[in-house]
């Protein structure tokens, strides 16, 4: 007998919102971390296209490819038993037409073992969301600072501070809900606006830099573990300082190798 809980589905997230239970979400890019996060009870593992920056060293998400996302989503799903695995669809794999979106998102679902996809955009993507949902592909939306539009937005800036953009974001959120999205990521928007949107929707909101009222929170794993020292946004809380732990461990290993102290007799075979 194991105490294994069944894998979460998009319906479970809707029920969590209805019960007022917060949805714990983290990005994840590989099987090793997937096992650790899953064991720790994280509800949603988002295979973010941020992998292109965090692991691959690019300066934006724009050059992430479908093959790259399929590879990372497959290995995350391999390490996951309970959490809902969501694949972030890369730039230009869903914007060109609903048909191309169905082909690419369908391929992701069929090949990786994930149970949902995430796409960026509001009203302009509503028809695509509807087309995906109609063929059985669960879709998470993403509004506010949408990194694939970083150049159009003039950089990684807070969205929705003025009345017109706040109004547009409220409309975008409603359009995604009406089109059948099962949840919406709200990135870098004022806490009061995120609260209004969260209250107005029956589907859950997952915030990142969007204050405490969202139905769940997401952070980039490597940022919150203090592994990625380059990223220090105001909303980020670092729960560990692993970059320094790595440097300390590697410095000690180097010294022990150079001084002939590692391997000792206990690490040697006869």
How many residues contact ligand KIV, by CB under 6 A?
Answer: 11
CA distance 140 to 144: 14
Q: Give SS3 for 57.
A: coil
Which phi and psi angles does 243 have, rounded to 5°? -60, -45
Q: In this structure, how many other beta carbons lie within 10 angstroms of the beta carbon of residue 138?
A: 23
Distances (CA, A) of 158 to 153, 190, 222: 10, 7, 22
DSSP H or E segment with residue 145: none
From the list 44, 50, 66, 210, which residue makes contact with ligand KIV (rule: CB under 6 A)? 50
Footprint on residues 182-211 left by ligand KIV (CB under 6 A): 185, 187, 208
Taking the complex as a whole, the smallest distance from the CB of residue 48 to ligand KIV amounts, in Å, to 2
- Region from 31-39, 48-56, 171-179, 242-250 binding ligand KIV, contact rule CB under 6 A: 48-56
CA distance 31 to 11: 24
Print the binding letters for residues 56-95 with ligand KIV: x by CB under 6 A, - otherwise.
--------------------------------x-------
Taking the complex as a whole, the smallest distance from the CB of residue 233 to ligand KIV amounts, in Å, to 11
187, 229, 256, 266: which is the annotated catalytic residue?
A: 187
E runs forming strands in the chain: 23-27, 44-47, 84-88, 116-118, 139-144, 183-187, 205-208, 216-219
Tokens of 244: 């320094």
CA distance 167 to 222: 33
Taking the complex as a whole, the smallest distance from the CB of residue 61 to ligand KIV amounts, in Å, to 6
From the list 38, 43, 49, 172, which residue makes contact with ligand KIV (rule: CB under 6 A)? 49
Is 187 noted as a catalytic residue in this protein? Answer: yes
| CB nearer to ligand KIV: pick between 169 and 208 | 208
Taking the complex as a whole, the smallest distance from the CB of residue 79 to ligand KIV amounts, in Å, to 18
Print the binding letters for residues 214-243 with ligand KIV: x by CB under 6 A, - otherwise.
----x-x-----------------------
Which positions ≥6 away from 243 have C-beta within 8 Å?
A: 226, 227, 228, 229
- Region from 47-55, 165-173, 227-235, 240-248 binding ligand KIV, contact rule CB under 6 A: 47-55
Which positions ≥6 away from 57 have C-beta within 8 Å?
A: none
| CB nearer to ligand KIV: pick between 232 and 270 | 232
Which positions ≥6 away from 218 have C-beta within 8 Å?
A: 25, 26, 27, 44, 46, 185, 206, 207, 208
Taking the complex as a whole, the smallest distance from the CB of residue 126 to ligand KIV amounts, in Å, to 19
Print the binding letters for residues 11-40 with ligand KIV: x by CB under 6 A, - otherwise.
----------------x-------------
Catalytic residue list:
187
Residues forming contacts to ligand KIV in the complex (CB under 6 A) are 27, 46, 48-50, 88, 185, 187, 208, 218, 220
């Amino acid at each position: 007998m194991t105490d294994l809980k069944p894998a979460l589905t998009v319906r479970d997230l809707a029920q969590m919102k209805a019960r007022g239970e917060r949805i714990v979400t983290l990005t994840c890019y590989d099987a090793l971390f997937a096992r650790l996060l899953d064991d720790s009870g994280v509800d949603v593992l988002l295979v973010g296209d941020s992998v292109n920056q965090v692991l691959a060293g690019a300066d934006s998400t724009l050059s992430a490819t479908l093959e790259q996302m399929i590879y990372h989503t497959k290995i995350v799903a391999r390490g996951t038993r309970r959490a809902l695995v969501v694949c972030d669809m890369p730039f230009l794999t869903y914007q060109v037409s609903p048909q191309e979106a169905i082909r690419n998102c369908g391929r992701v679902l069929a090949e990786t073992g994930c149970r949902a996809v995430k796409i960026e955009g509001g009203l302009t993507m509503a028809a695509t969301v509807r087309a995906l949902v109609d063929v059985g592909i669960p879709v998470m939306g993403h509004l506010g600072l949408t990194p694939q539009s970083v150049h159009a937005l003039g950089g990684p800036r807070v969205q929705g501070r003025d009345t017109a953009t706040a109004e547009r974001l409220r409309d975008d959120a409603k359009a995604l809900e009406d089109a059948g999205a099962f949840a919406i990521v709200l990135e870098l928007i004022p806490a009061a606006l995120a609260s209004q949107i969260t209250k107005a929707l029956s589907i859950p909101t997952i915030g990142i830099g969007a204050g405490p009222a969202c139905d769940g929170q997401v952070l980039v794993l490597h940022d919150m573990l203090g592994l990625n020292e380059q990223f220090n946004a105001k909303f980020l809380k670092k729960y560990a300082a692993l970059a320094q732990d790595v440097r300390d461990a590697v410095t000690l290993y180097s010294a022990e190798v150079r001084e002939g102290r590692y391997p000792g007799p206990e690490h040697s075979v006869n």
